[in-house]
Amino acid sequence: MASIEKRGKTYGYRVRYKDTDGIWREKSKSGFRTKKLAEAAAAEVEHDKRSGADLSDVTLLAYYDRWLATFKAGKHSQITEARYATIRKALAEYFGSDQPLKEITRTTWQTFINAYAAGTVTPRNAKQPKPRSHDTVSKLNGYIKAMCEDAIADRILTANFAARVVNPGTAAKASDLKFLELDEFSALLVYCREHAKLSSMYLYCIAAAILTGCRASELIALQWADVDLGARIIHVTKSWDYVYGTGFKPTKTPSGVRDIDIPDELVAMLQKLHSEQTAANLRTGYRDELDMVFRNNRHQVPSDYALNHGLKRVEDKLGFPSPVTFHGLRHTHVSYLLAKGVDIAYISRRLGHSDITITLRVYQHLLKAHEQEQAQAAVKALSAL
């Protein structure tokens, strides 16, 4: 039973319990204005004790660190794991180092989320805090929500304070996908075919991006063993970490592992590239242990910056009024296939999307225009009856 004590003008409770190691411990709290408030709080502790809950006052930061070490560390990409430290910094700044985990309520957490979304927690510029996006706030809350589920399983929490949070983060800016028009598509491809060489590897990459729809990280990770020129197929099995430079890493999602059929034009360009590499390696005595497809004459694979910078130079030279980024070549690939009537389900698999709904959502603007063309074709067909 809990003992209630009057301490000056306020009341407090004291509850004795055995921890998971069978050692007797004591939990107490004071500062209640009335005896009834102290008794109600003590009753909650007694209830938790009977249900087998962990009564220790583990702090938010201590449990977060323990949770990361147990369930997350070393299991995800470097980009993802770098986010853990950013989240911890925000928690430490707002809650401090001694905030008991089980004393955080939904209201307390929502107040933190509001401040985090407003940018007043760990701001880059304290004088002019910049609001955070809905996606950034969602990621932080998602991690803590998952942590709370494990804390419930550990009988430290009885409810998930991060559930049903209102996300006040700023919405992403609505913007149409940028892609090249058909004449620009053709002009860029012709330029790459005529000028691509070992010392201008980005031109080979541009052509490959247009004709496969691959992400830059997927192209850079290609090894010659992944390319079957006879069958006209590229096997995408991994991607390249050009952010941290750690080398190979898994594809963005499991569905990113896929086979992509390639046209004769790309087959011819890759054959030319392979011949150039072989000749250069014989002259210099260099041996590429990884046998990378897009290894240049300086024995490097292109960086994300090099690809975008090189593409911008070519677009300026060709006089494109609305240049795209390297990722825009992926959108161009989709735009062209849709214009040629290729089925959206096949396009989705070709892109490596895990679900066709992702493709439909990302390319809804392109699909709307395509749908109007299909509607006109349908009406024309029906009129011929």
Predicted local confidence at residue 57, as pLDDT: 73
Same-domain check for residues 301 and 330: yes
Tally the domains of the chain. Answer: 3
Inside any domain, residue 174:
no
Which CATH number does the domain housing residue 68 bear?
A: 1.10.150.130
List Cβ neighbours of 356 (8 Å cut-off, separation of 6 or more). Answer: 344, 345, 348
Q: Is residue 328 part of a domain?
A: yes
User: Which parts of the chain are beta strand (E)?
Assistant: 3-7, 10-18, 24-32, 227-228, 233-236, 239-241, 247-249, 258-261
Q: Are residues 41 and 106 in the same domain?
A: no
Q: Are residues 200 and 340 in the same domain?
A: yes
Q: What is the pLDDT of residue 21?
A: 61
Task: Tally Cβ neighbours within 10 Å of residue 20.
Answer: 10
Same structural domain for residues 106 and 218? no
- pLDDT (tens digit, 0 to 9) for every residue of the chain, 385 residues total? 688 888 888 998 888 776 656 667 777 788 888 988 888 888 877 776 666 555 567 899 999 999 999 988 776 666 777 889 999 999 999 999 999 998 999 999 999 999 999 999 999 888 899 999 998 999 999 999 999 999 998 888 989 999 999 999 997 554 456 888 889 999 999 999 999 999 999 999 999 999 999 999 999 999 999 999 999 999 999 999 887 778 999 998 899 999 999 999 999 999 999 999 999 999 999 999 999 999 999 999 999 999 999 999 999 999 999 899 999 999 999 988 988 889 889 999 999 998 888 888 778 766 666 667 767 878 888 888 7
* Residue type, position 344, single letter: I
- Asked if residue 32 and residue 64 are part of one domain, the reply reads no
Q: What's the confidence (pLDDT) of residue 173?
A: 53
End-to-end CA distance of the chain: 87
Instruction: Determine, yes or no, domain membership for 166.
Output: no
pLDDT of residue 378: 80
pLDDT score of 174: 44
The boundaries of the domain holding residue 29 are: 3-50
Q: Which helix (H) or strand (E) segment is 136 a member of?
A: helix 134-153
**Same domain, yes or no, for 204 and 317?**
yes
Q: Is beta strand 10-18 parallel, antiparallel or unpaired with respect to 24-32?
A: antiparallel
Q: What is the pLDDT of residue 366?
A: 67
Q: Domain with 194 in it: what CATH number?
A: 1.10.443.10
Whether residue 199 lies inside any domain: the answer is yes
Does one domain contain both 271 and 367? yes
**Co-location of 278 and 365 in the same domain:** yes
What confidence score (pLDDT) does residue 175 get? 47
For residues 361 and 356, give the distance between their C-alpha atoms in angstroms, rounded to a whole number: 9
**Under a CB-based contact definition with an 8 Å cutoff, are residues 87 and 45 in contact?**
no
**13 and 89 co-located in one domain:** no
Q: How many CA atoms lie within 13 A of 157 on its CB side?
A: 25
Q: Which of 298, 316, 312 is nearest to 200 (CA)?
A: 298
